[in-house]
Copies of this chain bind each other. A is one copy, B any other.
Amino acid sequence: MSTKSALSEAEGTRPESGINPGAAKRIRDSRRKELVVEELVNGILKGSKTALGQAITLVESNQPKHQEKAARIIEKSLPFANKSLRIGITGVPGVGKSTFIEAFGSYLANSGKKVGVLAVDPTSSVSGGSILGDKTRMETLVNHKNAFIRPSPSGDALGGVAKKTRETIILCEAAGFDTLLIETVGVGQSETTVHSMTDFFLLLKLAGAGDELQGIKRGIMEMADAIVINKADGDNIKPAEKARSEFRRALHLYPAKASGWTPKVLLCSAYENTGIEEVWNLISEFQEQTKASGHFSSKRQEQNKFWLLQTINEHLKRRFYQHPKIKELLPLQLTALEKNETTAFEAAALLLKAYEK
């Protein structure tokens, strides 16, 4: 802090240094910020997990100062991103997702892949159900030099979590992680989100006991590029084989995918470590086929465009529904609608008029 005289504050005058103290501080701050940014980007590009972790923390932060830094880091990382295979993995709680990811991720890491594991689960902060938050699991993978595991970002809304996850993907890719496993819980909206940011979508299922009927959200089966029936071991092998042919028949009834890919059904036991290699072979086949057809890159382009438009649309809606006038009028119109005193279109016109005034 400098002692200010009335004179030094007069317009057009400057302290001797030729620069005012506020501006000097801003410049120092901005240099310091730039230093942090460059240091982290350098670390990321060298594959440092520490730098990657710190940068992701900035991405996940809701503080404007952190967000500014995060934006600069992402900007500088972008040219080195987009090079991994992004695999979405979903399944209801109890299907053995973390055991599967441990087995599958270890197989990949041992074959020399650099594996990043991320989770999308906006409900975890409420339910405490984030599997990756449970430190006792994935013990082997978490200590593997080729693996980087990051639990689900806490976020109030799926939109926020989605943004954070997409940006984390960019950072992981810049850090050289070439195979990303993006996990979600399979019971909510988050599957569509994960589906729209991955190249391959894997649905984990269980055989028998009606498990395959319960809990999974409608529409998820149609998104799957592969269904993997987990826990196909011991007494469970026969039911798993039966489930496999049922799912095969069911998938057969779906219309063909835009990718030209026909979804496959596989068996595995993450516990006994069987069938894991087959899953990877299938995904490799998918990658080869869709890269050759050009679908792989065109899908990524579409996903980018989807997220651009999605972000805009979410923002426009948020602005509307959080407007004080709308907050006041919407409940009244909904009541009128319930009583059949208005139509949906009349009510919408009224609300839009109030908003735009």
Contacts and interface: CB of A to CB of B under 8 A. Distances in A.
Interface in A306-349: 306-308, 310-313, 315-317, 320, 333-334, 337-338, 340-349
A218 B255 contact: yes
Place the interface of chain A in its size category: 35 or more
Contacts of A14: none
B253 A311 contact: no
A252 B249 CA distance: 12
B315 A348 contact: yes
A78 B340 contact: yes
A213 to B, nearest CB: 6
A212 interface: yes
Nearest to A217: B255
A312 B253 contact: no
Given A167-B343, A213-B255, A345-B163, A337 B249 contact: no
Interface in A279-325: 301, 304-308, 310-313, 315-317, 320
Main secondary structure of the interface of A (DSSP, over half): helix
A212 B249 CA distance: 13
Contacts of A108: none
Nearest to A77: B343
A247 interface: yes
Nearest to A316: B316
Contacts of A348: 307-308, 311-312, 315
Interface in A242-258: 246-247, 249-250, 252-256
Nearest to A243: B253
Contact of A215 (B250, B255, B304, B320): B255
Given A81-B340, A166-B344, A246-B249, 7 more contacts: A166-B343, A214-B255, A219-B222, A250-B253, A304-B338, A307-B344, A315-B348
9 contacts: A74-B343, A75-B346, A82-B340, A167-B345, A170-B343, A221-B254, A222-B222, A250-B250, A308-B333
